[in-house]
Structure 1
Amino acid sequence: MQPTHILRLEGAGLAAVATATYFIIGGPIWLFVVLALAPDISMLAYLGGNRVGSTVYNTFHTYLAPATLGVVGVWSSVTPFVLIALVWAAHIGVDRAVGYGLKYPTGFKHTHLSGDTDGNAPTGNPTELVSNVAGERDN
């Protein structure tokens, strides 16, 4: 099995667990619906260019932030933090399951889960791509 398939399955599993946990602990459906796409507001950062956009997008699409928020919520008994963290983690899991990955600064469609690139973005090893564009200005 390809690593991208494993990562997609992992995302689907986490989305399912986070969603189930959210509803098991009594999270309201209206809040889930309201928050489900909230992390995607980070895409607006692409108005500042690919480098800024990818940095902000990735910050809101890694599990570290919702995991931290969830731990703080559990530790301090602040249920809304836990609910937000679970919806946030579910969102990231669904993104991974359908193939939306973390973004490289070479373009919005160039992710760790896909070989797609934006228009003139070079193809190849993502590590090389990042170092190749390190000194270049964003479009």
Structure 2
Amino acid sequence: MKNILGIIMMFALLSSCKKDNLAAIKNEIAGTWELRSSATYSAVNNFPPGNGYIIEFGNNNSYKRKKQDTLLFEGKYTLTQKKDCYGTALQTFITTTQPNSQEFIIAVIKDTLTLNTSNCLSDGAVSEYTRK
């Protein structure tokens, strides 16, 4: 019985840590971001400040994608944490309600937000945004 109680308590603790981590990431990504670079297996494109390719994340899971002042898409996003198909370290993934949207690994370092396709996809892509 003590073992079962210990397992339940450990699961509850790990679950709360995961939720706390997702809440921290949600706070980190909240705000407005402008595209700086986009890379695929065949090309790297750099974008100057003021290019107008914008994404916005709200604390209420709202998501907007804009080009200059034109709203291209408005919807919701979801964050999840899991290991990719190689079983490497736990990573944070983001999905949106945008049609034909795929799942990206999301990371924030200082004022740079990175959206990266999973290592499990060949011919992947990475996009970097800076906070506005």
Decide which structure has the larger Cα Rg and report it. 2
TM-score range with shorter-chain normalisation?
under 0.3
Q: Which has the higher contact order (CA 8 A, sep 6+)?
A: 1
- Structure (1 or 2) with the greater helix fraction: 1
The structure in which a higher percent of residues are strand is 2
- TM-score computed with the length of structure 1 as normaliser: 0.27
